[in-house]
Amino acid sequence: MAVAANLAQYRLYIGGEDVDAASGETFEALNPTTGEVWATHALAGAEDVARAVRAARAAFDDEAWRGLSPTRRGRLMMRWADRIGERAEEIARIEVSDNGKLYKEMLAQLRVIPEWLYYFGGLADKVEGRVIPLDNTSVLNYTLREPLGVVGIIVPWNSPVLLTMYALAPALAAGNAVVVKPSEHAAASVLETLRLADEAGFPPGVLNVVTGAGEAGAALVDDPGVAKISFTGSEATGKVIAARAGSRLAPVTLELGGKSPNIVFADAALDAAEAGLLAGIFAASGQSCVAGSRALLQRDVYEELLERVRQRTASIVLGDPLDGGTQMGPIANPAQLERVETMVEAACGEGARVLAGGERAALDRFPAGLFYEPTILYGVGNDARIAQDEVFGPVLTVLPFETEDEAAAIANATRFGLAAGVWTRDVKRAHRMARRLRAGTVWINTYRAITFNSPFGGYKESGFGRVNGAEAIDGFLQTKSVWTELSEDVQDPFVMKI
Ligand code: NAD
């Protein structure tokens, strides 16, 4: 494999220092646009993960963190946010090198990421207990809401820093220390961002990053020093992690995949719906957990919309994700490209017909780039594997429907429940559908909108627990009940009258 001339070299970030893996081993990061190795990382083993957990635990127990008032902790988070904002362009470029997503999308993400730290930093001193009005009026009973300890955060490659921040911002606001295990396919931007916390004045060890593949993640899940795991990734890995964490009774939050329906009724504003269908699936080359990968089109507009979407798809510009004019970049890594290819071939074997794309794309400028054509499949039912399994690539499966009941039934006939889109001008229908759809997010006449103060997460096998929004902090706190007898009229159980 070709290696870039200015190869970047990253190390683990443990206890506020950049360190090599104990084994001295490294692994390579591939740029999916050029096909070149652009960076190397230290390959963390179980020993390194244990070291990071120990560093986090020491920081958690240290007065420098534990003794910081929630208001000061929040201010620290805000100072870190400022640093990230100043470096947004640089970090966004690093993400593009790793996952090939469009620079304009990564930059927009990096510019909004500080909001998570401002919002949750502001929430840090609003975590309050309650006074419980007990039947026994001589007892003062109140609750304390306390951090869990060390939180392990495991994230995928598609939006590395943003997805880390979904868990990290509420975990820190609650007063925990963390160890992050980014994806082996996109670790550099997470390292760069977390190291900035040092500059902002975070005590060493509150934030740690271990890089490596599934083995490093598994070591984090199994470490008895980790009080909770927050996982974002595929349903398959999520199930393994939930079982392993369950075996030592460690709680988990799971943000998993989806097969989200994007439903267009005949009364919709069709120009908007067309844009929503396209952006829903082809933004980020379909490598988005909320990708609208099933288009449900009402029969009266089925032919018209299909033709409109086909024409637009045929003109999507594939190319360098750093170019402003590029509309779709590559697939992020060779395994993912192979998955897309295999699933489209299998769908065709099951009777799916190709309306657009359906193959790898060859670009003269990037002969070793991992490009796949934006693809539309039709002619299969909702029970076909291509309509049930997550592709995590630029592949749209189109399904017709006649009535609102049928749309809801098809939309819900999936094991996933991450998100859904509804396009209609009928406000009553819109809200009827919002209640009927079994998904953690429903978008009406829009798609793929997510922000720091609105809850996000999955129904069914798309996961459990919520990130974003004030309730996200609850997942990183535990409640203690404190009882104080205010009288000296102590009941002696051995002389109690019946
Ligand atoms: P993945 O499950 O393969 O990997 C995710 C992370 O888990 C990586 O860091 C990986 O190294 C680690 N890992 C792998 N095996 C492990 C194990 N046995 N124990 C512990 N850690 C392990 O997912 P991916 O391919 O990186 O990402 C794509 C998936 O992520 C898609 O399914 C997508 O829908 C999902 N996703 C979900 C959300 C959400 O918020 N719901 C957001 C983005 C992506």
SS3 481: strand
Cα-to-centroid distance, 237 and ligand 1 (Å): 6
The question of whether 255 is a catalytic residue gets the answer yes
Tokens of 34: 């050029």
DSSP 8-state symbol, 125: G
Closest ligand 1 atom to 221 CA = 20
- Residues 37, 28: contact at Cβ < 8 Å? yes
Q: Which domains does the chain have, with CATH numbers?
A: 3-256+462-481 (3.40.605.10), 261-444 (3.40.309.10)
Residue 5's pLDDT is 86
CA of 436 to the centre of ligand 1 (A): 29
For 220, the 3-state DSSP assignment is: helix
- State in Å: Cα 486 to ligand 1 middle: 52
Residue 391, Cα to own-chain centre: how many angstroms? 16
- 179 neighbors 49 (Cβ within 8 angstroms): yes
439: Cβ contacts below 8 Å, ≥ 6 apart: 258, 260, 417, 418, 419, 420, 458, 459, 462
Question: Which residue, judged by its Cα, is nearest atom 39 of ligand 1?
Answer: 255
| pLDDT reported for residue 498 | 65
Ligand 1 centroid distance, CA of 457 (Å): 15
* Contact predicate 19/204, CB 8 Å: no
What does each C-alpha distance from 355 to 75, 255, 350, 378, 459 come to in angstroms?
53, 32, 15, 7, 31
Tell me the helices (H) and strands (E) count for the chain, helix number first: 15, 21
Give all strands of the β-sheet with 477-485 in edge-to-edge order: 131-132, 139-147, 477-485
pLDDT in tens, the chain (498 residues): 899 889 999 999 999 999 999 999 999 999 999 999 999 999 999 999 999 999 999 999 999 999 999 999 999 999 999 999 999 999 999 999 999 999 999 999 999 999 999 999 999 999 999 999 999 999 999 999 999 999 999 999 999 999 999 999 999 999 999 999 999 999 999 999 999 999 999 999 999 999 999 999 999 999 999 999 999 999 999 999 999 999 999 999 999 999 999 999 999 999 999 999 999 999 999 999 999 999 999 999 999 999 999 999 999 999 999 999 999 999 999 999 999 999 999 999 999 999 999 999 999 999 999 999 999 999 999 999 999 999 999 999 999 999 999 999 999 999 999 999 999 999 999 999 999 999 999 999 999 999 999 999 999 999 999 999 999 999 999 999 999 999 998 777 788 766
CA-CA distance, 36 to 33, in Å (whole number)? Answer: 8
**Is residue 240 lining ligand 1, measured as CB closer than 6 Å?**
yes
Tell me, yes or no, if 348 is annotated catalytic: no
- Choose, from 255, 274, 373, 461, the residue flagged as catalytic: 255
Distance CA 366, CA 284 (A): 18
What DSSP string describes 51-116? Answer: HHHHHHHHHHHSHHHHTS-HHHHHHHHHHHHHHHHHTHHHHHHHHHHHH---HHHHHHHHHHHHHH
157 CB under 6 A from ligand 1? yes
Residue minimizing CA distance to atom 9 of ligand 1: 183
Q: Which residues pair with 30 in a beta bridge?
A: 37
As a whole number, the mean pLDDT across the chain is 97
Q: Does 184 contact ligand 1 (Cβ within 6 A)?
A: yes
Cβ proximity of 72 and 164 under 8 Å: no
Residue 41's closest CA among 172, 188, 192?
Answer: 188
- Residue 241 in contact with ligand 1 by CB distance below 6 A: yes
